[in-house]
Structure 1
Amino acid sequence: MRFCPQCGADVVDGARFCPACGNVMPTAAPSRAPVDPLINRTLDAKFLIQELLGVGGMGRVYKAVQLSLDKVVCVKVLRPGMTQDETLVRRFQREARAASRLNHPNSITVIDFGQAKEDGSLYLAMEFVPGKDLNKVIATERPLAEKRIVHIMDQVLSALADAHAAGIIHRDLKPENIMVAELRGTRDFVKVLDFGIAKIQESAVPEPGLTQAGMVCGTPEYMSPEQARGEELDARSDIYAAGVILYQMVTGQLPFTAPTAMGIVTKHLMEPPVPPSQLAGIRVSPALEAVILKAMSKDRSGRQPTAIALQQELAAVLSPVVAPAQEEPLPKDLFAPAPASRAAQPISAQPTQQRPASPPVPERPPAQPATPQKSSRLPLFVILILLMLGGGGAAAYFLFLRPPPEPPKIPDAGPVIAPDAGTIPLAEPVAEDGGPPPVEEPAASADAGAEAAAADAGSEAISEQAQAFYNLGKELMARQEVDKACKTFEKAIRAAPSFAAAYKAAGSCYVQLGDTERAKKHYQSYLDKAPDAPDRDAIQQMIDAL
């Protein structure tokens, strides 16, 4: 740990600028013995502070134990002197409210926030994520394979898409705010941290003076041109930062450097980045390079318009048939007649499943007109849309448009640990003959845990056990093992009866199995559990069509 020679604020090792005053840190700054009065102290009679994890512009982050649950957590504490500044106090409180609105597997979970009775310290308690930040991954593990780059960034964009849908802009996205861990049986599981200076676009309840246009907040190396100019921001500012991070993951270096923060900001405003392929020793596919440079366009209108759009372009880098991870809410006139060229897209909220590249789809001759016949089966276009609504866009493609592919090789993702439920194996190692590995059902103890969790139906929190079943169901759906996926989603529902996404996913499974009654029942439960769902009207039309 270092300190700023100008203002005396704590500065994390390796930082080039002071997070408090922006002063350029000397190459060899004087150090001092860490003296932290919070270490080994109980904060607000709730959290036992154990060690310092990091320092930010607004405060310090500690590893602590939540005494009521004996659970390891992170606690962010506002700088002591800042509690006297009412504007900063309101901003901290707004950060807590903003972060508490996020409920996504790739976003950090807020546990509690408040003001300590002992000394008035403001704090924000969050889940503890073991692992290392993306900055350390880039520094110690590069060069990173393109598949790994896309896998990590896809999860970041999934979290951003969820935040943007809630009206939240991150404003300070950088590798240090992206944790990469071995979590839930998945390597490189991502958690996006620190929506601490996020701007909430709430016209109904404005907070004058807080992060308004004309006020510049963020990190110079990842700051969008419009953010540097102090303009009103939208989601495309985060897209620019994501482009800078992609550039850094590919090249191992930042696109713009300068001796001062103002020099870096000026380059973001005026200079185009050097294409990664023109840097010595850098290997990058033309497709990925094009996506990165588009995301870093100086004019925000030249970037991908949404995090979802950037996800789709990254997915296409690996394979043109990989389904996009998410899509905008479906239009209300979904079932109205539309031109044949109109393409419905899936809206799954999970990161894109990686798949091996598939050969191009052979062109088919134009269909010959057929004599209309009455049938009790659903029209083909309705079935296609039903599949897409449940996150089954890829399934619709494979079932109706593409010749049967070779069974995909699913990499060993390791076990997902469900609390009090044993280990849920995601996949066995792939056999040498390339055949698909069998997927085992969760252990019997998981069923017992799920049934016990069902008693807590009134709780809005989704247990880790239910989330584990849900993630496994999504993977089974990606493998086209629909029957097993149905059973797994049902277990997620039993573990968390208020888990709306599990009802929707199960409904999609039953549509594919032809069980329309159960599909209607589960889609209706989804609407009951998520009354404000953006696709509510489309789901209701689908129920009526069934």
Structure 2
Amino acid sequence: MSDPNIGRLLGQRYQLQELIGTGAMGRVYRAKDILLGGVPVAVKFLSLSIQNKKMRLQDRFEREAKTCALLGQKSIHIVRVMDYGVDENNTPFYVMEYLQGDSLNQIIRQKNLSLPRFLSMARQISLGLKCAHDGIPVDGAIYPIIHRDIKPSNMLVIQDPSFGELVKVLDFGIAKLLQSNGDQTKYYLGTLAYSSPEQMEGKELDNRADIYSLGVMMFEMLTGEMPLVTPTHSFGAWYKTHHSQPPRTFAEVAPGLPIPQEVQNLIMSCLAKAPSDRPQSIGDILQVLESFLTGDKAVEDEMWQQFEK
């Protein structure tokens, strides 16, 4: 069945050309910006309508979109939002830079990352998160942003002529926006396998919830396996697992993989059940990652050779 959106002109400006992604948060189309001579852009329609939800949600959407636009200007590791609006069906949409690359999810599925590649990617993702957690000035106040849905499919890896392999984080602010209408405990949003215990409870989240999700993702990046497994993929099973099951260790999952103890310790600390037992800021994580990227050259070379064998 053909997609009725293909060929549609949005806001007298963006002509939708191809569906390039779908997910719980919405649908993404490649489009061209008619006003700028056909420059390619990505348009994301959010999976909610602000119909019958008064102006409060529309104001909230505009604030989230404005904040995400500012974030993308502040960090090269966050996908830039260039425009936003609400279509004739009252469905909110973002217009983002169009980037061709691979989802980190696809990359992990192909093969485990080498340690050098892991360190580079994890550092770039952490830099994007730090920028968001540090906050953006909006209307005279600092507005910190928690992502709430850190997972490999929300990381885009592109080949950049200046930077080489460049990682960008997608979908800042969207989970909170979608969750803002309704009872949080009844309307869970996120991805079960990556959600912190406090997110499963529907609590107000801080930066340490993203740190937990980052820990799950970093474990998966290095091993290709999840640190936590459940008998079924139900909310109840994941709730119990995140709250009471100790995460699997690197020795259990990948006994032959030579991962430095400091990196193992860092990732396992991110997976602590209590937020107070995790690294308290992304800066703490960056310190460890960067110590390997800028450490003693002879030790570094030897480690790289070991991983490239």
TM-score, normalised to structure 2's length?
Answer: 0.83
Please say if 1:307 is aligned against 2:282.
yes
Letter in 1 for 2:264: E
Contact 1:199 1:211 in 2 (8 A): no
Aligned to 2:22: 55
Contact 1:250 1:282 in 2 (8 A): no
Give the CA deviation at 1:96. Answer: 1.3
CA distance in 1, matches of 2:174, 2:209: 13
Aligned pair in 2 of structure 1 residues 85, 225: CA closer, same or farther (>3 Å)?
farther
CA distance in 1, matches of 2:30, 2:200: 33
Contact 1:277 1:289 in 2 (8 A): no
The answer to which of 151-160 and 269-278 deviates more is 269-278
Letter in 1 for 2:26: G
Letter in 2 for 1:194: D
CA distance in 1, matches of 2:247, 2:171: 27
Q: 5 Å matches for 1:281-300? A: 282-283=256-257, 284-300=259-275
Q: 1:218 aligns with which of 173, 190, 193?
A: 190
Please say if 1:246 is aligned against 2:215.
no
Contact 1:250 1:276 in 2 (8 A): no
CA distance in 1, matches of 2:89, 2:273: 46
The answer to which of 56-65 and 276-285 deviates more is 276-285
CA distance in 1, matches of 2:263, 2:60: 37
The secondary structure found in structure 2 opposite 1:169 is coil
Aligned pair in 2 of structure 1 residues 282, 139: CA closer, same or farther (>3 Å)?
farther
Give the CA deviation at 1:42. Answer: 1.2
Aligned pair in 2 of structure 1 residues 94, 291: CA closer, same or farther (>3 Å)?
same
Aligned pair in 2 of structure 1 residues 282, 138: CA closer, same or farther (>3 Å)?
farther
Q: 5 Å matches for 1:72-151? A: 72-79=40-47, 82-86=49-53, 89=58, 92-102=61-71, 103-116=74-87, 118-140=88-110, 142-151=111-120
Aligned pair in 2 of structure 1 residues 199, 115: CA closer, same or farther (>3 Å)?
closer
For residues 489-545 of structure 1, the C-alpha deviation after alignment (integer angstroms, 9 at most, x for no partner) is xxxxxxxxxxxxxxxxxxxxxxxxxxxxxxxxxxxxxxxxxxxxxxxxxxxxxxxxx
Superposed CA RMSD: 2.5
The secondary structure found in structure 2 opposite 1:238 is helix
Letter in 1 for 2:210: D
Contact 1:251 1:282 in 2 (8 A): no
Please say if 1:275 is aligned against 2:249.
yes
CA distance in 1, matches of 2:58, 2:24: 14
Contact 1:169 1:198 in 2 (8 A): no
Give the CA deviation at 1:197. Answer: 3.1
Contact 2:46 2:92 in 1 (8 A): yes
Aligned pair in 2 of structure 1 residues 169, 158: CA closer, same or farther (>3 Å)?
same
Aligned to 2:39: 71
Consecutive unaligned residues of structure 2, counting only runs of 5 or more, are 136-143, 302-309
Contact 2:228 2:241 in 1 (8 A): yes
CA distance in 2, matches of 1:357, 1:211: 56
CA distance in 1, matches of 2:298, 2:243: 38
Aligned to 2:234: 261
Please say if 1:175 is aligned against 2:152.
yes
Consecutive unaligned residues of structure 1, counting only runs of 5 or more, are 1-32, 201-207, 322-355, 360-407, 409-546
Aligned pair in 2 of structure 1 residues 43, 188: CA closer, same or farther (>3 Å)?
same
For residues 293-331 of structure 1, the C-alpha deviation after alignment (integer angstroms, 9 at most, x for no partner) is 01111111111111111011122245546xxxxxxxxxx
Aligned to 1:193: 170
Q: 1:233 aligns with which of 198, 205, 210?
A: 205
Contact 2:146 2:173 in 1 (8 A): no
Give the CA deviation at 1:357. Answer: 4.8
Letter in 2 for 1:53: I
The structure that is helix-richer by fraction is: 2
Aligned to 1:394: none
For residues 38-81 of structure 1, the C-alpha deviation after alignment (integer angstroms, 9 at most, x for no partner) is 112211111011111111224211111111112111101134x7
Larger RCO (CA within 8 A; separation ≥ 6): 2
Greater radius of gyration (CA):
1
Letter in 1 for 2:189: C
Give the CA deviation at 1:145. Answer: 0.9
Contact 2:211 2:282 in 1 (8 A): yes
Contact 1:304 1:310 in 2 (8 A): yes
CA distance in 2, matches of 1:358, 1:211: 53
Letter in 1 for 2:169: V
Give the CA deviation at 1:196. Answer: 3.8
The secondary structure found in structure 1 opposite 2:35 is coil
The secondary structure found in structure 1 opposite 2:273 is coil
For residues 316-374 of structure 1, the C-alpha deviation after alignment (integer angstroms, 9 at most, x for no partner) is 245546xxxxxxxxxxxxxxxxxxxxxxxxxxxxxxxxxx3559xxxxxxxxxxxxxxx
Q: 2:13 aligns with which of 43, 46, 63?
A: 46
* Percentage of pairs with the same residue: 34
Contact 1:247 1:253 in 2 (8 A): yes
Contact 1:64 1:75 in 2 (8 A): yes
Q: 5 Å matches for 1:26-41? A: 33=1, 35-41=2-8
Equivalenced residue count is: 283
Give the CA deviation at 1:93. Answer: 3.5
Contact 1:157 1:311 in 2 (8 A): yes
Letter in 2 for 1:265: Y
Aligned pair in 2 of structure 1 residues 195, 39: CA closer, same or farther (>3 Å)?
same
CA distance in 2, matches of 1:169, 1:185: 29
CA distance in 2, matches of 1:40, 1:290: 51
The secondary structure found in structure 1 opposite 2:118 is helix
Contact 2:223 2:254 in 1 (8 A): no
CA distance in 1, matches of 2:99, 2:233: 33
Aligned pair in 2 of structure 1 residues 211, 249: CA closer, same or farther (>3 Å)?
farther
